[in-house]
Amino acid sequence: MSTLVRDDGLADKVALISGAASGIGQALAVAYARAGAHVVAGYYPDDPHDIAETVAAVETAGGRCVTRALDVRDTAACEAIADEAIAVFGRLDIVVASAGILRQSSIEAMRDEHWDDMLSVDLGGVMRLMRAGARVMTQPGAMVAVSSIAGGVYGWDNHAHYAAAKSGLMGLVRSLAVELAPRGIRVNTVVPGLIETPQSRDPVNSLGPDGLASAAGNIPLGRVGSAEEVARVIQFLTDDNAAYVTGQEFVVDGGLTVKWPS
């Protein structure tokens, strides 16, 4: 009988994470450090969150973290951070596309540049980062795109551009899973539900603290999720325990999307 592969299969592997200055990306960097993996942390220069906090948390967890400013709208920047993983660590095993933006706009008020920028970051940015990773990955590995139940499962009024981008990740991931399978590179999507992060706490573009607290009553588990809980699912999908899983969407939502409306 086969046995479950131990989690120490991540030891000495190298993980590239975009959006690593806060939220799910930051939590994942720490999770990888605890598992013995090295982290290449991409951060947006104008992000108000300090990437130094991620570095400190990774080092406290016993890991090594190198950082690089990253605008996922820029192909050259995506290729440069993948190249840095090779230059510093000699390999790249894991790519997690966690960077994203969230903006509220009705369809009537939405200008073309709003639509284009959202898709360039939340959909095109995932493609660029995964393309850059695939270019330098010379051994089997894993990639994960971070989607959302907004678009991934539900529609969301006043967020059509965001939902369209997050929905588009499903087709991108399924296709890359087929294309990269001969190289042993697995590609999956994680679809977070209501997760407490700096983005979801934004009262203008998202639910805000009050909205999150109110929504908790509609979730079967009775609470919103944490970034760490999503990070643990991503970690599983990129370690050897998920060696036969590719092209799939994993909803992490406390049961929200399977509850009959009441």
DSSP H helical segments within the chain, as ranges? Answer: 23-34, 51-60, 75-89, 112-122, 124-136, 149-152, 160-180, 208-215, 227-238
Q: Which residues contact 90 (CB under 8 A, 6 or more apart)?
A: none
Q: Are 212 and 200 in contact (CB under 8 A)?
A: yes
Q: Which run of H or of E encompasses 66?
A: strand 65-69
What tokens does 260 get? 């009959």
| Residue 141, strand partner residues | 185
SS3 134: helix
- In the chain, the amino acid numbered 172 is L
Q: Which of 32, 43, 162, 244 is catalytic?
A: 162
Q: Check if 162 is active-site.
A: yes
What tokens does 165 get? 């981008």
Q: Are 192 and 169 in contact (CB under 8 A)?
A: no
For 84-96, the DSSP string reads HHHHHHS---EEE
Task: For residue 9, give Cα distances in angstroms to 5, 29, 44, 75, 243.
Answer: 7, 16, 30, 31, 11
Task: Give the residue numbers marked as catalytic.
Answer: 162
